[in-house]
A and B are shown apart, each in its own frame.
Chain A
Amino acid sequence: MEPLEELLKRLVAEMPDPDKRGMYCTDIDAAKIEKAVAEMHKHGRAAIVGLIDMLVEPLQGDDVRPVKAKYALHCLALAVCNLADDKPRHEFSLTLASQLGGNRPKAVQAYLIQELQTAGGKEVAETLGTLLADDVLCEPAARALVAIGDGAVQQLHRALGKAAGKRRLTIIQNLGVLRDATSVAALREAVGDPDADIRLAAGWALANIGDQGAVDLLLRAAKTAKGWERIQMTKACLLLAEKLQAPAKQSATARV
């Protein structure tokens, strides 16, 4: 029986070669790709980890195997999503997550997170949540969490207290995207932050959540801000007014 490592090398070699321009535009044989990916899939977790072992980032030299392994891993992600049974997708997702947080290059981990954005589910929310503490991986992890949706709010909410700088900005914005009402106290505080990006993200997040308690805060912020910040805080006020149109909140709408 062919050892898995050799088998994987052979199957990865079945992926298309980049053409002269470095593109996947010539001799793209879909049936050949799909057959090789199906063969990889039969070998489950070991094959997935084997593919991940072939990834190197950033690319160096002329070795095309990492390029092909990267594509093969994505084909596998697409293949498991196309199955009626959710179990293979679930296992694929957990396998990718198991390779995060360790010593693999950050760029490789970022790629795995990107694949989780395609094929991951709530089963990997906690792993992605731990990466919100990583300066490099926070942003792709937040993107994947928001795309997955299920379980994302808890992770972002938990990470907010310890986050600083760009990570804090990313988390605040995404709490706004997910309309997390449990974060409004921290978001109201962030409207007074010295960093303008944080202030704007928090103001917009409160508006998108429809936080009735933020009416005066946002009106004051819009009145005192200048230039771009004034435009954006005014937008936040309008957005808040729209969100407050819900019958229970209409008296606050009139104030805005």
Chain B
Amino acid sequence: MSNDGRRKVSRRRFLTETAGAAAALAIVPRSVLGGEGHVSPSETFGGALIGCGGRGGGTFGGLGPNVRRLASCDVKFLGRVDNKETYSDFRRVLERKDIDVVAIATPPHWHPLITIAAMEAGKDVLCEKPLTRFIAEGRAVVEAERRYNRIFQVGTYGRFRDSHNPAKVLTHKIMASGLLKKCQGVHIKKGGLKVRQWSGIVNAKPQPVPKNLDWDMYCGPSPLRPYHPHRTGGTHRGYWDYEGGGMADMGQHHFDPVQWTWAKDDTSAVEIEAHAPPAHPECCAMWGWVELKYADGLTFVMESTEWGKPYDRKQPREISLNDLSEEDQKKVLAMPDPEPLVDFPTAIRTRQRPGGHAEAAHRSAAILHLANIAIRVGRKIRYDPVKEQIIGDDEANRLVNQPMRAPWHL
């Protein structure tokens, strides 16, 4: 067993326990013994997929080639559960000691709770984006990652690409140097946020719950609403109960690498303002743009191009060495490039922190949540990135840390 307590079969133990080394050499296939292109048992992990719909297969694939799928779990598996390979209750999966790694591809209202529970049970986790449904969930995931010393990666990978782009690496170094005191950078994401596509049905009439679906478990920590199929199967994205519209669906893909480039993995915006009609209480719907300003002046904007007047306050602006004094330029150029980001399959073998770790994933999800809060309350909000609370606005803070339906809690 490795020194961090994981259940991993060592090559030596495997050979001894397989009726002696000599016999093993005779009967064990080459793939077990290793060699180029082969996976040795010392690097093989037991895996489970929780949430087997649309993204499930792809998310499990992100665990890498060394993870063998031992269990599949989904709330729509009622009637065919054997609690050996097929489950409808993730808690039964997490009880298994032979599962080392969990891929989570449920709707986002379950992401943090299952992530935290899996880490409590000693598993490493790859979780689909968006990491969370509201900000306090993200902090709880970060704390669980630290407390249980597990590997966590969110299922979006743009930062791995951008961290090899020389122009973005330079921006990252300028920002990370702390030498740019007043940042004039403006990053605008225009379109591609699927606002209309991921809206909710405001006049949905309740329908009977399908026999194969555990609806109570589906709703989980969210309010137990009357069933409607549009609340499931991808279109769940249009409801605040489960996600946050196209903003939450596409936003983390876009802003997670942007956040890395601008070296904001450990902080959040301080002023957020939206241009949107009054929000619906349950359904995600139209908005025009949201502007998020960081304490150093950096501005992020998401512009839907699907509603209202265009964003015209600022133009996109990159930063460059020219924004620094000559002396500071030399300091930045002398800085080493950032370490290559570690991918999840490598991280679970080496126990290094992966590139899309919990804090980074939490902060990039918070960008979307803050934008959605500004849309939902219809007023400018000011945010304290350290306390992770909206300043002087009790009602808006209710969306930062939302109550959960028992027995589910952070």
Contact = CB atoms under 8 A, between A and B. Distances in A.
A118 B395 contact: yes
B406 A197 contact: yes
Interface string B59-78: 00000000000000000000
A117 B378 CA distance: 16
A74 interface: yes
Nearest to A64: B203
Given A24-B202, A228-B95, A235-B120, A177 B403 contact: yes
A176 B92 CA distance: 25
B377 A78 contact: yes
Which of A33, A139, A231 has its CB near the most chain B CB atoms (within 10 A)?
A231
Contacts, number: 135
Interface in B179-236: 195-196, 199-206, 223-224, 226
A79 B277 CA distance: 12
Contacts of B407: 169, 173, 197, 200-201
Interface residues of B, number: 45
Contact of A58 (B195, B226, B405): B226
Interface stretch (A39-47, A126-134, A141-149): A141-149
Contacts of A34: 278
B308 interface: yes
Interface string A201-212: 100100000000
Contacts of B394: 121, 149
A169 B407 CA distance: 7
A22 B204 contact: yes
A79 B395 CA distance: 12
Nearest to B275: A30
Nearest to A143: B403
A243 to B, nearest CB: 13
B126 interface: no
A3 interface: no
Which of B203, B238, B280 has its CB near the most chain A CB atoms (within 10 A)?
B203
A21 interface: yes
B19 to A, nearest CB: 33
Interface stretch (B20-28, B101-109, B281-289): B281-289
B378 A173 contact: no
A33 B277 contact: yes
B279 interface: yes
B220 to A, nearest CB: 13
Nearest to B96: A227
A58 B205 contact: yes
B121 interface: yes
Given A23-B199, A78-B377, A228 B91 contact: yes
A29 B286 CA distance: 11
Contacts of B120: 231-232, 234-235
A43 to B, nearest CB: 18
B12 interface: no
Contacts of A114: 223, 281
Nearest to B197: A25
Contact of A30 (B121, B226, B278): B278
A173 B203 CA distance: 33
A23 B200 contact: yes
Nearest to A37: B278
B302 interface: no
Nearest to B200: A23
B147 A146 contact: no
Interface in A101-152: 114-115, 117-119, 121, 139-140, 142-143, 146-149
Contacts of A119: 395
A54 interface: no
A88 B317 CA distance: 43
Interface string B302-335: 0000011000000000000000000000000000
B55 interface: no
Contacts of A24: 199, 202, 280, 283, 285-286
B409 interface: yes
B117 interface: yes
Contact of B278 (A78, A142, A177): A78
A59 B205 contact: yes
9 contacts: A24-B202, A24-B280, A71-B202, A71-B278, A71-B281, A78-B378, A82-B377, A177-B403, A201-B407
Interface of B: 91-92, 94-95, 117, 120-121, 147, 195-196, 199-206, 223-224, 226, 238, 276-281, 283, 285-286, 307-308, 377-379, 394-395, 398, 402-403, 405-407, 409
**What are the 6 closest A-B residue pairs judged by CB atoms, nearest first?**
A30-B277, A22-B201, A24-B285, A173-B406, A143-B403, A146-B403
Given A197-B406, A235-B120, 11 more contacts: A23-B196, A30-B277, A30-B308, A59-B204, A71-B278, A81-B395, A117-B403, A118-B281, A119-B395, A148-B398, A231-B117
Interface of A: 18, 21-25, 28-30, 33-34, 37, 58-60, 64, 67, 70-71, 74-75, 78-79, 81-82, 114-115, 117-119, 121, 139-140, 142-143, 146-149, 166, 169-170, 172-174, 176-177, 197, 200-201, 204, 227-228, 231-232, 234-235, 238
